[in-house]
């Protein structure tokens, strides 16, 4: 499969690949360079944080909701200023 590098170095991951790997907007991908290869690995940071937060006094799910709300507000402001 081939992809093209767009303006500012943006690479679009084809829909079939996103669906197969369960990639969603906002997910973080690990990028590794090995010689002349780029390696992308999908990570679910929220799942990692939830696992780390098990048994602690911190409510990871509440923290995730707060961050999602803050991101939504930021996107609204950015859209208004565009």
pLDDT of residue 82: 65
Q: What is the largest CA-CA distance in the chain?
A: 46
Half-sphere exposure of 22 (CA within 13 A, CB side): 3
Q: Of all residues in the chain, what percent carry a pLDDT higher than 70?
A: 94
Q: Is the pLDDT of residue 79 over 90?
A: no
- Specify whether the CB–CB gap between 61 and 50 falls below 8 A: yes
In 3D, which of 22, 28, 24, 58 has the Cα closest to residue 40? Answer: 28
Q: What is the mean pLDDT of the chain?
A: 84
Could you report the per-residue pLDDT of 12-34, keeping only the tens digit for each? Answer: 999 999 999 888 887 888 899 99
């Amino acid at each position: 499969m081939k992809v093209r590098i767009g303006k500012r170095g943006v690479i679009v991951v084809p829909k079939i690949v996103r669906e197969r790997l369960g990639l969603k907007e906002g997910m973080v991908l690990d990028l590794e360079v090995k010689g002349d290869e780029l390696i992308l690995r999908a990570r679910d940071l929220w799942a990692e944080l939830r696992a780390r937060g098990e048994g602690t006094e911190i409510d990871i799910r509440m923290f995730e909701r707060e961050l999602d709300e803050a991101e939504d507000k930021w996107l609204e402001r950015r859209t208004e200023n565009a």
